[in-house]
Copies of this chain bind each other. A is one copy, B any other.
Amino acid sequence: MGDDMAQPIDFYFDFSSPYGYFASAKIDEIAHRHGRNVVWRPILLGAVFKITGQRPLPSIPLKGSYTNHDLVRTARLFGLPFKLPTKFPIAGQAPSRAYYWLADRDAALARNVVQALYRAYFAEDRDISNPEVTANVAAKLGINREELLQALNDPAVKERLRGEVDSAIERGVFGSPYVVIDGEPFWGADRLDQIERWLATGGW
């Protein structure tokens, strides 16, 4: 294994997760401050919730209205544009497949596309579960629209996403964002401070 400190950290997120959106704006910056890279891994919380029996936050009595309030407040704290989308949650297949298809060829471009997709959904209320919308967002970053639309239906790309989701579940990932540092798991955008502290100190 060599020097553990050089291992990249894993960042799991769902395209329907506002807290994943918030974390995506910070995670690379935090990791880089401590000499780490980040592997971004979109997953599908719908598949996870089938196992855990959880429901999307806004649908839970009492907790739902708190969450809606907390999202707006957290977005302000993070300095990010945010508006609860009209359609929420959404299926993350199209944007997630787009990511994995791109990531194998250009990891930096792929995460720029993630951030553009997240902003389209959570700041501009565009329904990125629609493959056409995902393709339009990606096209603005120079990606060939038709090639991407074909990739979204490619059995190999579909299988890639399924495999990532299965591996995540096997690893215990149950929410978004979910970060793993040298085997140590952190769940939630409100754990970014602990993530930074763990990276700085090697644990406590």
Contact = CB atoms under 8 A, between A and B. Distances in A.
Interface of A: 48, 51-55, 60-63, 65-66, 69-70, 73, 76-77, 169, 172-175, 185, 187-188, 190-191, 193-194, 204
A54 B48 contact: no
A67 B189 CA distance: 16
Contacts of A65: 172
Contact of A76 (B51, B60, B204): B204
Given A69-B185, A190-B188, A174 B54 contact: no
A177 to B, nearest CB: 13
B48 A52 contact: no
Contacts of A63: 52, 54, 174-175
A62 B66 contact: no
**Residue picked from A69, A70, A188, most chain B C-beta under 10 Å:** A70
A51 to B, nearest CB: 5
Given A191-B190, A204-B77, A62 B174 contact: yes
B53 A60 contact: yes
Given A62-B173, A174-B66, A194 B77 contact: yes
Contacts of A73: 204
Given A190-B190, A190-B191, A61 B69 contact: no
Nearest to A187: B66
B52 A62 contact: yes
Contacts of A190: 188, 190-191, 194
Smallest CB-CB A-B distances: 7 pairs: A62-B174, A190-B190, A63-B174, A52-B61, A62-B172, A52-B62, A52-B60
11 contacts: A51-B61, A53-B60, A53-B61, A60-B174, A63-B174, A63-B175, A66-B185, A66-B187, A76-B204, A190-B194, A193-B193
Nearest to A77: B204
A55 B188 CA distance: 19
A66 B54 CA distance: 15
